[in-house]
Amino acid sequence: MASTKLTKGSIARYKTGDTQQSPIVKITNVRVCGESSTAASNDSERYRLSISDGQDTFDACVLSPDLNKLIKEKRLHDNSIVQLEKVVHNSTATGKSFLIIMDLIILPESSTTTTSNNNNNNKQANTNICPIAMITPYLNGIWKIRARCFAKSAIRPHPVCDFDFVDASGEIRLVAFRDECTRFHPMIEIDKIYDIMGVRVKTADKRWNTLHNDYELTLNSGSIVRLVNDPSVNTSIPDVHYDFIPLQDVSKHTSESYIDVIGIIDTCSDAIPFTSKTSGKDSKRRELTLIDEHTSMSVTLWDDQAEDFDEELAENKTVVAFRRIRVAIYNNKYGLSGSKNMIMKINPDLKEAKHLRIWYDAGGHSVHSQITTTTTPTRPALDASWKTIGQIENEELGRKGRPDYVMLKATCMHIADNRVIYMSCPNDGCSKKVNKLSSALYRCDKCQQDFNECHWTYMFRAELTDSTGAIWASFFGQPAEQLMGYVTAEQFADAKENADELLMQKYLNKNTFREKIFRLRINEETFNDITTVKISCISISDIDFSDYGHRLIANIQNGF
Ligand SMILES: [Zn+2]
């Protein structure tokens, strides 16, 4: 028991009548006291113990008969190290002090766990349990928490370590410094339930402690941490405390904040190796899609978390809860990112999980995919994808192997006036450029068809600017006609055929120098082995200044 320190001075304090302590002492001798009891029943047998606190020894200790079985079962014996939990101090008629030991904990040789041992303990254990959510520095009297350890730090220099505990009401951190760190770190195990008492309550420092609790607990030399080994208690205390945020509200949280979410794993990619740009280190990442009743959200896991992720979770559409997952913004889209202290629970035993399971199995997913695939919002979400031109360039949008969609408030400076229109295939869904044949027919190579008549269609590039820069974007079809002030491609073709430069310029300038909102698609296109970033306009709208104002206010509030 070299790792457990005896509580020096505790015997001296007992002698003065101080029983409000829970010292660790060594049993130096156990004997049956008095010959008078030999004929009596087992129940009335009395044992007398000698104890040592490493400084003093004391041999006038009587064990409460409730605890006799500890001796009969050979759990308590000479050289046992025990923590005295409840002791009554008394004096004989002649004025000699003696102690009656009412309750104790036998500390195991290995010191890795404590043992909760008898009926008396269990009765006492049910008193004064303070729900974690009720803990304040102003609690009076003797109280304890009964909670499950769900996270445990390594021992840091000084030394210090901490344990995160949860009960049905909430979560709280328990911090151990120096001797307590050495003593409790090997003893407290993740997922086990403990009664904890005699701890100090202080205000949590939110820089280090991100648990959902304003306070934290500190262990001291008189603190007691006792393992609770009762299956009926086990079911009443959750594994982890969650404050779930619906996926649709993730965007209400600032980037880099930590939240708890729950959803169904819909898809997952392979673990993708890459080399970190910042550290040059080889890493891995894996992309998941998490869905709930309202929306879907991408989740990126890194390194070990990416590698260890079980792909069957996506195949089986498993419910997974994430605690302390990080809010991230990639390509102007909100997403979630694995973090070091993240906890991922598969099929947690929670009502939220059951709810999702029922929703999904009742066909929720088909409804869901309809929602996500058929809504191309005419008015996109306020905070979804607004970008400046500077951001489009600096964030390398469109270069991540998939298109990015952004909203841009910008001014069209100029439409490139070479060509502007072309003759297109009239077939529905085709709009390929057709070639004029010598027969005066038009041929679409794609449809392998010849036509007598074809449409004029817009296709041009326009220069867009805002205060951060300028870009060229391609315009086709409806947005092109809109930018041309609803002059049709046919009308423009007439002016062009008549070589009416003035009219053409008039058409081209109908909307230049007017600020509009452009919805853009940005992606890489490879043609003849040359890859370029292509920006095309999907729609144009006038600025709704009330909407725009609200968005600015929201951005300010979100700390942009
Ligand atoms: Zn065609």
Reported as a single tens digit per residue, the pLDDT across 229-263 is: 887 787 778 878 888 999 989 988 888 888 999 99
Q: Which two tokens stand for residue 55?
A: 């400084």
DSSP letter string over 177-239?
A: EHHHHHHHTTT--TT-EEEEES-EEEE--TTT--SS-SEEEE--TT-EEEEE--HHHHTTS-S
Length of the chain: 560
Q: What is the pLDDT of residues 455-510, one digit of tens each?
A: 899 999 999 999 998 999 999 888 899 899 889 999 999 999 998 999 999 999 98
CATH code at position 183: 2.40.50.140
pTM, rounded to two decimals:
0.41
Q: How far is the CA of 488 from the centre of ligand 1 (A)?
A: 21
> Does residue 68 sit in the same domain as residue 164?
no
Q: How far is the CA of 479 from the centre of ligand 1 (A)?
A: 21
Three-class secondary structure assignment of 145-184: EEEEEEEECCCECCCEEEEEEECCCCEEEEEEEHHHHHHH
Q: How far is the CA of 445 from the centre of ligand 1 (A)?
A: 7
How many domains does the structure of the chain reveal?
4
Q: What is the pLDDT of residues 364-374, one digit of tens each?
A: 666 554 334 33
Q: How far is the CA of 417 from the centre of ligand 1 (A)?
A: 25
Domain that holds residue 57: 10-33+45-106
Q: How far is the CA of 489 from the centre of ligand 1 (A)?
A: 18
Q: Which residue has the higher pLDDT, 2 or 185?
A: 185
> Does residue 304 sit in the same domain as residue 265?
yes
Q: How far is the CA of 534 from the centre of ligand 1 (A)?
A: 23
Q: Distance between CA atoms of 70 and 49, rounded to whole angstroms?
A: 13
> Does residue 221 sit in the same domain as residue 269?
no
Q: How far is the CA of 383 from the centre of ligand 1 (A)?
A: 39
Strand partners, 435: 443
> Does residue 253 sit in the same domain as residue 229?
no
Among 38, 58, 61, residue whose Cα is nearest residue 48: 61
Q: Do the domain assignments include residue 121?
A: no
Longest dimension (CA), the chain: 133
Q: How far is the CA of 531 from the centre of ligand 1 (A)?
A: 26
Q: Do the domain assignments include residue 222?
A: yes
Q: How far is the CA of 429 from the centre of ligand 1 (A)?
A: 8
> Does residue 139 sit in the same domain as residue 275?
no
Q: How far is the CA of 443 from the centre of ligand 1 (A)?
A: 8
Q: What is the pLDDT of residues 430-441, one digit of tens each?
A: 888 898 888 888
Residue 162 confidence (pLDDT): 95
Q: How far is the CA of 478 from the centre of ligand 1 (A)?
A: 18
- SS3 (DSSP) at 60: strand
Among 145, 117, 155, residue whose Cα is nearest residue 225: 145
User: Is omega for the bond preceding 403 within 30 degrees of 0, making it cis?
Assistant: no
DSSP letter string over 489-554?
A: HHHHHHHHHTT-HHHHHHHHTTTTT-EEEEEEEEEEEEETTEEEEEEEEEEEE---HHHHHHHHHH
- SS3 (DSSP) at 367: helix
Q: How far is the CA of 446 from the centre of ligand 1 (A)?
A: 5
Q: What is the pLDDT of residues 397-407, one digit of tens each?
A: 888 777 888 88
